[in-house]
Amino acid sequence: MCNVGLLFGSFDPIHQGHLSIGQYFLKHIPVDEVWFVITPQNPLKKKTLTPHAHRLKMVALATEDNPFLKACTIEFSLQPPYHTYTTLELLRQDFPTVSFCLLIGEDNLRQLEQWVAYQKILDAFPLYVYPRVGCAISAPLQAHPNIRLGTRCPIMEISSTAIRKAVQKKEAISETWLPEKVMEYIGKHQLYSCF
């Protein structure tokens, strides 16, 4: 059986922080691959996103040199709203020989009780939690046997929002923030020049 860690996000754009999280979990938990599940729209956030095709291409470019990091577009085939539980059920149907776990930030764990069918997710899937600046987790969630806290995943203070704003202002963006191929793609397609 193959073990896959799922990292959900809009990846608008994917950045070195996302890749660092994926690489950390490949080395430190029992997963064979990490899939970046590109969500068309987070039901808890109401922002306009770059079209799916661009975000998919950026994730593909960012992960193409590591065969254990992959783009996952399963949510592109679903109807809104996009709920993690629905996606997980579809993944289990489509990949019956794969064992899945979720890789989530402390910020998302704090909101977990707002997720549709969150208790079913907790009961069926291990959740590996990586640290986020300024987050505290509620005691009941800390005690759940499927929640794995205490990972030493490095905290990288990079955000897709900051990257989009920097591009809009025509500020220089370091390769410590974005993979070079993704920077080139953003420039070529003039993404984020105004939003």
Res 136: pLDDT? 66
Round to whole Å and give the CA distance between 171 and 169: 5
Mean pLDDT by runs of 10 across the 195 residues of the chain is 96 96 96 96 76 96 98 94 94 98 92 93 96 71 85 83 91 89 95 74
- Exposed / middle / buried, residue 70 (Cβ in 10 Å: 0-12, 13-18, 19+): middle
Round to whole Å and give the CA distance between 123 and 31: 19
Q: What angle do CA 75, 80, 85 make, to 5 degrees?
A: 60
Q: Which domains does the chain have, with CATH numbers?
A: 2-155 (3.40.50.620)
What count of Cα atoms within 13 Å lies in the side-chain half-sphere of residue 94?
A: 12
Round to whole Å and give the CA distance between 124 and 101: 9
CA quadruple 151, 130, 173, 179: dihedral sign = positive
**Phi/psi of residue 149, nearest 5 degrees:** -95, 175
pTM above 0.85, yes or no: yes
